[in-house]
Amino acid sequence: MKLTDIVMRSFRVAKVFKDQNSDRINSVDFSSNGDTLVSSSDDDSIVIYDCQEGKPKRTLFSKKYGVDLIRYTHAANTVVYSSNKIDDTIRYLSLHDNKYIRYFHGHTKKVVSLSMSPVDDTFLSGSLDKTIRYWDLRSPNCQGVMHLQGRPVASFDPEGLIFAAGINSEMIKLYDLRSFDKGPFTTFRLQPDRDCDWTGLKFSADGKMILISTNGAVIRLIDAFTGTPQQTFMGHTNTKGLVLEASFSPDSQFVLAGSQDSKVHVWNAENGSKTSVLESKHGGPVQCVQFNPKYMMLATTSNDMEFWLPTIEE
């Protein structure tokens, strides 16, 4: 089944999970094989969902430190996540036996960006302490630190060879992982947004585009090789400065984002046109929006989790 405008418009909420969380679900991540989804919430819980059976599998808790920005590692039974209470340490957790494998100390303020390498055991973290840190899961010691002028967002490219760092909500620097201590090999300066900050950075699966989400009413799409602005997606509401996730579809054709009014907006990445506005059953802002990398399903969150499926087959 291929994703087309008609298929995208046909997505409907298939399952609602209301009883798993008592507070906002702040991040989600699909396993690379698409079989499971993990979520972190402001109620300190980690919930693992079975995507094939469409049901929650397990709930774990991180009561003392809180949990945010949860990410699968390459093993589908381990995750890394940032803390939102007590300290700013990143924790490496085995979901299998609910035990910490390692702690990553170094950030002195809230971690606002976490990106796992698609090819190995390294990951990037960005913090309000104005640093981006490069880590290896096998070592508690930071492998490299970059000092910046402002709030960072960072992400690996799909091949894990370079990473992009968004700085001060106005420029993107690209670094080669083999020589990132030598500085960026290219810098893109973008027209700054006066009324919002960048909150997320994602490469498309084909590596050709970079999606920049903000805490305002715009989402930007730029060419990953030249930095040329390609699209500005608007129409969703975000008047409260919320961190609403924007994501690509797995084929890079569409961009999806949540909205303050419980809707999910879908745009065509190539021409920027609005493909659809999907009605969720969420009672609040749609915080997270992600497409399953292997199956034709969508997950969205507010204080609850919703699984979406297409209702027609092309």
pLDDT (tens digit per residue) in 13-66: 999 999 888 899 999 999 999 999 999 999 999 999 999 999 999 999 887 888
In-domain check, residue 291: yes
pLDDT tens, residue by residue, 62-105: 878 889 999 999 887 999 999 888 889 999 999 999 999 999 99
If one counts the domains in the chain, the total is 1
In-domain check, residue 125: yes
In degrees, to the nearest 5, what angle opens at C-alpha 136 toward C-alphas 100 and 108?
75
* Angstrom distance (rounded) from CA 280 to CA 261: 9
pLDDT tens, residue by residue, 271-314: 999 999 999 999 999 999 999 999 999 999 999 999 999 998 66
In-domain check, residue 2: no
Query: CB–CB of 49/55 below 8 Å?
Result: yes
Instruction: Give pLDDT, residue 34.
Output: 95
What is the phi/psi pair of residue 140, to 5°? -75, -10
In-domain check, residue 43: yes
Question: Two tokens at 10?
Answer: 């046909």
Instruction: Give pLDDT, residue 194.
Output: 77
Q: Give the CATH number for residue 57.
A: 2.130.10.10
Instruction: Give pLDDT, residue 314.
Output: 60
What is the phi/psi pair of residue 177, to 5°? -65, -25
Q: What is the pTM of this model?
A: 0.94
User: Which range of residues forms the domain containing residue 161?
Assistant: 7-309
In degrees, to the nearest 5, what angle opens at C-alpha 263 toward C-alphas 257 and 265?
40
In-domain check, residue 1: no
Query: CB–CB of 289/264 below 8 Å?
Result: yes
pLDDT tens, residue by residue, 189-239: 998 877 889 999 999 999 999 999 999 999 999 999 999 999 999 999 999
In-domain check, residue 314: no
Place of tokens 């700013």: 88
* Angstrom distance (rounded) from CA 95 to CA 72: 10
Q: How far is CA 254 from CA 137, 145, 213, 237, 274, in A?
A: 32, 34, 14, 19, 10
